[in-house]
Chains A and B, each alone.
Chain A
Amino acid sequence: MKYIISTSIALIIVSAILAQSPAEIMQRIDDNMSADNRVIESSMTIHGRRNSRTITSISYSVGNEKSFTEYLSPAREKGTKMLKLDDRLWTYYPANDRTVQISGHMLRQSVMGSDLSYEDMMDDRKLTDVYSAEIEGDEQVEGRQMIILKLTAKVDDAAYYSRKLWVDKEYYLPVKEELYAKSGQLLKRTILSDFKKIEGRWYPMKLNFKDVLKQGKGTDWEIISIKFNTDIPEYLFSKAALKQ
């Protein structure tokens, strides 16, 4: 009898998950990953051909429009600040006390030689706003059940036309993400791991970004601390804050 009940409960749970629409899964990922604002202290390790270097920074961002980043280490980068307002970016270099404005297209360049572009770092649009989804199937990765979600852009200005997500059924977070060009060519791969529950949501604390067209081990991004929906002073998102 017990066996029948437990099997029935398991079946109900599985069928509930399976009954979820791709849009609902995407929404749950958004619920975990997106926030009105956030403050992240992180370290970025860029693996070069000969050596690797680690840069730590603290970022304050509000939605997709405003972002302020200050580099904390190494000594060479310490004090460098970046302010992004819409599609404009200013970088402040303390060594020569100069603020340089970088035009819109520059946002697509690599950040300090990493596998990430400025846009990749700052693009925080919700998946549900940009993509429509369909379930491609199930897969077991390292003993955990994954849903394979294929996203296709529903807006014209999506940076990546399609994405493929391996979504953990328990955390509703992707453990792996592949970004594709319009032609179907795989461009980038992200591996997400070390999921932690922070302020009621699951969030990946380690990410590896890899430009698959390039040689190398990619770029590791590790979150040291993260706060969601906190009070961020408005003055941070002004050019005056760069020199402070």
Chain B
Amino acid sequence: MNSLLSDAGPLLRIEGLSVSFKTNVGRVKAAENVCFELYRDETLALVGETGCGKSVVASSIMQLLPHNASVQGSAVYAGRDLLSLGEREIAGIRGSEIAIVFQNPSLALNPIMRVGEQIAEMLRLRRGFSHISSLQLAEDMLCRLGLRGWDNMKMYPFQFSGGMNQRVMIATTMILSPKIIIADEPSKGLDEALAGEVMAEMVKIKHQMGASLLLITHDLMLARDISDRMAVMYCGEIMEIGKSQDVFHRPLHPYTIALLGCLPERGFQPIPGSSPSMINPPAGCKFYPRCPNRLEKCRRKPKMRQVEGIKTVSDNNECIGREVRCWLY
């Protein structure tokens, strides 16, 4: 776990990001006014239930959304708004500066290319490495992720299990030493022990590279264990953001409290009701219909507010505090 004070200013600043999709049944509001910063060498976990808009946020940063998507807001990286870059400019950033580990490695990998070649290809195309040296580096990276030996390099994705393919995906992403790694459910398909092992290795490599990690996951324990800060998303909005240990052990938003109550060690307490429609979400707080602490004013939309005295100040005096979107605070 690193310090949030490691370097000046955020590496990536997302402001007012709203994404909607035009569909036959109406406009799906997948993300609404999402704001957060990712600092250097930091791991920020974006957690929430399936369908809450976590992956949409990641894909919009990389301009990987389908044509029916409408995107508003900004994602500033190195002084440039990624959302307004042209295809050629963003293609130069994808992979080499900001890389993404997708959640379905079997679909993301080329099925008719050996895995070693797939990893080495990145170095040849983006960094101009020779065939042999790129293969050697690829083998080294696979070895660090627990797939030792030249035999593994010669395998095709279909010859590997889901977990092994996930490690190939991680190797492909990390081989170019990007500044930001976006990992979209990287532990999906891995059993518990293997997930812990792979994630620990991923964090170690990330730390050695000095990269920042935006971890998208619904696994709260994983987020608690490896992230510095945690942002909890519900129905397209960030409900709470703060240091992971604080959010986990002292949740403030009623949704975070309810979500943590579903954990096995807290007795599998279900959240009453179901997630609202993203076409016609509740007008005020989106958790209002399911909230045990709802007030009349919760029918109006709450803003993200800084709470408590918990504040960490980065080198350029920016405040990284605990923020909650709830009328109770």
Partners in one complex: no
Q: Name B residues whose Cβ lies closer than 8 Å to a Cβ of A.
A: none
